[in-house]
Amino acid sequence: MIQLEEAILRILEQIPRLGLERVNLLQAQGRVLGEEVVAPRNLPPWDNSAMDGYALRWKDVQKTSAEKPVRLKVLADLAAGRIYKGRVAKGEAIRIMTGAPLPRGVDTVIQVEDTEKAGSAVKIFASPGKGKNIRRAGEDVKAGEQVLHKGIVLQPAHIGMLASFQRSFVSVYQQPRVAILSTGDELLEIDEPWAGGKIVNSNSYSLAAQVTACGGLPIQLGIAKDQIDALLSKIRQGLIADLLLTSGGVSVGDYDFVKEVLKSHGKINFWKVAMRPGQPLACGIIFGKPLIGLPGNPVSAMVSFEQFVRPSILKMSGHQNLFPPALQAELTEDIEKKAGLVHFIRCRLFREGEKTFASTTGEQGSGILSSMVKAQGLIVLPPDRNRVQAGEAVSVILLDPTFLHTPMPSYLSFADDREKNC
């Protein structure tokens, strides 16, 4: 049996980062960028108007006022997307729309609210200062500047920046294909007729959902009977994947063959981790592919996934940060635990003011799937303790990110009043 931290490191050591692929920009959201992106041109590409108004020479309007407005001759109407070919001279102006390239000869734009049309001329009532209301070429990004770095996780703003430079395809790390195999003679598929003594294969589904949630592509291999040949044949089918997951058959029972198969046809890295739930866990390489043998109990399988498989999938997908942030919360009850093991206690979370509290979801057995259903987080209790007490501060891995959402954010000044009015 090895310690949790060592187990995580040893699994990650045997997990490769995948290669790159080019994807359509709209499919790149949430993926890890696989290239350095340098601006091919200035953004904006040319000086342009920041306002609807009149482009003119500041000298002409320097002394203007509401009482004594300056009159300028309007040469043309310039919509965004059009270029004015001529040059603006003394006493002249161009009616200009937001985003239109600045005509030659002008240095200032006066917003339309400070003007009045007068036939083919315009009266200017105010002058905001030289160079006002102009967006300069390259003020956002200069040509040749590095705008995005390899390894970032693409978010909507990055997608927008890539679109600005007409990048309809972008290079990203591949999504890991993760084959999922449930083992057990007792298992029944989701759509098989209900039968006495059988247990529905729920693990394949919870695990597939976890794979999807962290950006992997699940491949369902179904169920393997508790026989070496059946297991081997399904594992061979799974070799199309980048990572193989099995559930069940990894304990010390007479029908637990996963580690036997790993030993005889591959290389076992370790077996058993000092944690609860999820102590039985085997990992290694088989036919050149990494395999993580998760325990069969539904909670153990899911909790072990979060500890070992999630960081593995993230590493394969090119991520640098492989672990979720942990919150600090105050325990509301005493918890007994086994010394020597890290315990992951399913908990509900609630907030009072700035403080977060954690309460267990009740019965913590490794077969109690409803403890995961109710859980917003996993309290992590360290191996050196055999008891933790109400009032202690504990670390909690957040399972439900919506816990951090609020009905009304406190940064909106009207939120308090509104609550009072409710």
**At 237, is the secondary structure helix, strand, or coil?**
helix
Does 216 interact with Mg ion (rule: CB under 5 A)? no
- State how far the Cα of 263 lies from the Cα of 259, in Å rounded to an integer: 6
Closest approach of ligand AMP to the CB of residue 337, in Å:
21
Does 295 interact with Mg ion (rule: CB under 5 A)? no
Q: What are phi and psi of 405, to 5 degrees?
A: -75, 155
The footprint of Mg ion on residues 235-254 (CB under 5 A) is 248-249
Neighbours of 234 (CB within 10 A): 20
Pattern of binders to Mg ion over 160-199, x per CB under 5 A?
------------------------x---------------
* Interface ranges with ligand AMP (CB under 6 A): 182, 184, 186-187, 199, 201-204, 247-251, 253, 295-298
- 42 versus 201: smaller Cβ distance to ligand AMP: 201
- Residue 138 backbone class (left: φ over 0; alpha: ψ -120 to 50; beta: rest): left
Could you say which of ligand AMP, Mg ion, none residue 298 binds, taking C-beta under 5 to 8 angstroms by partner kind?
ligand AMP
- 247 versus 317: smaller Cβ distance to ligand AMP: 247
- 66 versus 252: smaller Cβ distance to ligand AMP: 252
- 140 versus 189: smaller Cβ distance to ligand AMP: 189
385 is written with which tokens? 């303790």
Could you say which of ligand AMP, Mg ion, none residue 312 binds, taking C-beta under 5 to 8 angstroms by partner kind?
none
Closest approach of ligand AMP to the CB of residue 250, in Å:
6
Strands (E), 161-215: 169-173, 177-183, 187-188, 199-200
Would you give the distance in Å from CA 184 to the centre of its chain?
34
Closest approach of ligand AMP to the CB of residue 251, in Å:
5
- 27 versus 233: smaller Cβ distance to ligand AMP: 233
Cα distances (Å, whole numbers) of residue 332 to 85, 193, 321, 360, 401? 74, 44, 31, 8, 21
* Half-sphere exposure of residue 77: CA atoms within 13 angstroms, side-chain side: 4
Length of the chain: 422
- 1 versus 50: smaller Cβ distance to ligand AMP: 1
- 16 versus 365: smaller Cβ distance to ligand AMP: 365
Q: What are phi and psi of 159, to 5 degrees?
A: -65, -40
- State how far the Cα of 180 lies from the Cα of 293, in Å rounded to an integer: 10
Query: How many degrees, rounded to 5, is the angle at CA 334 between CA 331 and CA 338?
Result: 110
Closest approach of Mg ion to the CB of residue 177, in Å:
25
Using CB positions, name the residue nearest to ligand AMP: 296
Closest approach of ligand AMP to the CB of residue 206, in Å:
8
- 199 versus 398: smaller Cβ distance to ligand AMP: 199
Could you say which of ligand AMP, Mg ion, none residue 247 binds, taking C-beta under 5 to 8 angstroms by partner kind?
ligand AMP
Contact 120, 73 (CB under 8 A): yes
- State how far the Cα of 40 lies from the Cα of 349, in Å rounded to an integer: 48
Closest approach of Mg ion to the CB of residue 295, in Å:
9
- 129 versus 196: smaller Cβ distance to Mg ion: 196
Contact 411, 398 (CB under 8 A): no
Could you say which of Mg ion, ligand AMP, none residue 7 binds, taking C-beta under 5 to 8 angstroms by partner kind?
none
222 is written with which tokens? 């179904």
Closest approach of Mg ion to the CB of residue 256, in Å:
6
Could you say which of ligand AMP, Mg ion, none residue 147 binds, taking C-beta under 5 to 8 angstroms by partner kind?
none
Closest approach of ligand AMP to the CB of residue 217, in Å:
20
Closest approach of ligand AMP to the CB of residue 225, in Å:
12
* Half-sphere exposure of residue 8: CA atoms within 13 angstroms, side-chain side: 14
Closest approach of ligand AMP to the CB of residue 201, in Å:
4
Of 155, 157, 70, nearest to 116 by C-alpha is 70
Element (DSSP H or E) covering residue 148: strand 146-148
- Which amino acid is located at 217 in the chain? L
- 48 versus 304: smaller Cβ distance to Mg ion: 304
Could you say which of ligand AMP, Mg ion, none residue 187 binds, taking C-beta under 5 to 8 angstroms by partner kind?
ligand AMP
Of 216, 214, 229, 213, nearest to 180 by C-alpha is 216
Q: Which residues bind Mg ion (CB under 5 A)?
A: 184, 248-249, 296
